[in-house]
Amino acid sequence: MQYFTEDNHDIEGYLKNLTRLEKTLDPSTYQFMLNHSFHDSQINKLIVVNHEATNALQQSPVSIWMQLTDWSETDYELIWEDVRVFQTDFDIRRNKVAGTKEILFERGLDQWSYDELTQIEMGILRHEIRLFSQTRISIECRQFRVKKCFKTKIGGKE
C-alpha cells in the first residue's frame, strides 16, 4: 500500500490517485470512491466465482462479489471482474483484544479499516484492503464496481 499504512495516511495523495481512475471506473463507482469510504463497514459475504469463459476479450473467468454493510446500515455490493490476482491472509488468531491474548472469535473477518484502489498498468486495477482483524485482501482486475443494494420487504420481512 502506497497511501495508507500504520504510520502514513496520505489522503490528499490518494484522492489525486483516484482522479486518474475517472476513465477506468464507471461514473457512479468513480463518484462513490471519491466521496465515500467503507471504513467501519462489516463484510457479510465474500464469494469467488469461476465463470465459464464466454467473452473473447476476457482474460480471466474469475470474478469476486462482496456484500457489506456500512456504518449507516446501508448495504453495498462490490464486484471485481476479470480477476487475475486474488490474495487474502485471514487468520483469526491475529484478531485480539488490544494489549491481551484474547482472540475475538465472534468478530470473524471484522470491519473494514482502509483500502487503496490504484491502476498498476493500463487497464489493470489493484484493490488492497485492510481489515481491523489484520486481514489483508488484494485483488487485481480489469473492472471494479460499487452498487448500492436496495432492501425489499417480502411479506413484511426483509
Model confidence over 16-60: pLDDT tens digits? Answer: 999 999 999 999 999 999 999 999 999 999 999 998 766 666 678
Query: Can you name the residues that pair with 64 across neighbouring β-strands?
Result: 48, 80
**Taking the domains of the chain in order of start, what are their residue ranges?**
11-51+59-148
* 106 half-sphere exposure, CB direction, 13 A CA radius: 2
> The pTM is what?
0.86
Return all residues near 60 (Cβ < 8 A) that are at least 6 apart. 82, 83, 84, 141, 142
Model confidence over 61-93: pLDDT tens digits? Answer: 899 999 999 999 999 999 999 999 999 999 988
